[in-house]
Amino acid sequence: MIQHTPGFGTGWRLQDNLYIWQSRFTFKLQMTSGFEIYLRAHTSLGDAEIEQIVSAGKLRSLERNELLLQEGQVCRHKTFVIKGLLRNFGTTADGSESITHFSPENSWTIDAESYHLQTPTQFSIAAVERSEVLQWNKTEFERLLHEIPALNNFSQKLITQASYGNRNRLFTTLSATPEEKYESFVKSYPDLLARLPLHMIASYLGISLKTLTRIRHSQLHR
């Protein structure tokens, strides 16, 4: 019997009807190519710098619903999502969850406050789907930022851009009706619509699942 993935990323893999042995090394090479493409598209980083960044990162696989960060922990890594989909969420006193952010492939995820201050977080990050991420711990990443000014610039730009998104999302959350929120979501993230269970979309929009299905129902008859 063929054993799959006895170690992370390592194992027999079915490809073109042949089982091939894949080492950690070739697996990482394969997984990180998307990240390299991403960096080339969004920065002016050179080959050597990209190689340096990639080799400093560690791959991690996440099962569906596996936690990347748990309430009470300190966020110790910057994380880039290579494949899959993660969600950031907080839990209220009564145990219900509110999703503050989704991070699909080719985006970053972090708990910024916990990461920068190295304090325990009130939020969690979990995989919605089986995912592959690339991670750098804080000191490692700060070294990269220091050694590679272009990465530093890019990183600042990401932080700034994230703030635009947060503000716009806050405004929508404050001012829009549930129906408008849903339509805005569909328009902004048509791809996520198909990948997320509705209760997570409801949680993200700050409305109940019931209200969401009502909206969807009423839209059928229009």
Partner DNA sequence: ATTAAATATGGTCAAATGACCATGTTTTCG
Partner DNA sequence: CGAAAACATGGTCATTTGACCATATTTAAT
Cβ contact 170:180 at 8 Å: no
From the list 23, 153, 166, 218, which residue makes contact with its own copies (rule: CB under 8 A)? 166
- Which residue from 116, 147, 198, 218 is in contact with its own copies, where contact means CB under 8 A? 116
Taking the least distance from each CB to its own copies, the nearer of 59 and 162 is 162
Q: How do the residues of the chain divide into helix, strand and coil, expressed in percent and rounded to 5?
A: 50, 25, 25
The residues that touch DNA, with contacts defined as CB under 7 A, are 63-64, 177-179, 197-199, 207-211, 213-214, 216-217
List the one residue from 164, 190, 191, 221 that touches its own copies (CB under 8 A). Answer: 164
Alpha-carbon Rg for the chain in angstroms? 19
CB of 204 to its own copies, least distance (A): 8
Choose one: 14-22, 31-39, 94-102, 188-196; the region binding its own copies (CB under 8 A): 94-102
φ, ψ of residue 193 to 5 degrees: the values are -50, -40
Of 171, 198, 213, 219, the one binding its own copies by CB under 8 A: 171
Comparison of 210 and 217: residue with beta carbon closer to its own copies: 210
The count of C-alpha atoms lying within 13 angstroms of the C-alpha of 129, restricted to the half-sphere facing its C-beta, is 16
- Token pair 């999302």 is at which residue? 169
32 or 203, CB closer to its own copies?
Answer: 203
The answer to whether residue 150 forms part of the interface with its own copies (CB under 8 A) is no
Q: Which listed option, DNA, its own copies, none, makes contact with residue 171 (CB within 5 to 8 Å by class)?
A: its own copies
In contact, 128 and 84? CB cutoff 8 Å: yes
Exposure b/e, 186-217, CB count within 10 A at least 16 = b: eeebeebeeebeeebbbbbbebeeebbeebee
- Is residue 3 within the footprint of its own copies (CB under 8 A)? no
Residue 112 token pair: 């910024």
Select from DNA, its own copies, none the partner in contact with residue 164, using the beta carbon and a kind-dependent cut-off of 5 to 8 Å.
its own copies
User: Judging by DSSP bridges, how do beta strands 67-69 and 77-83 pair with one another?
Assistant: unpaired
Residue type, 35: F
Q: Should residue 112 be labelled a site residue for its own copies when binding is judged by CB under 8 A?
A: yes
The residues of the shown chain that bind its own copies, judged by CB under 8 A, are 90, 92, 96, 98-100, 112-113, 116, 123, 156, 159-160, 162-164, 166-171, 173-176, 203, 206
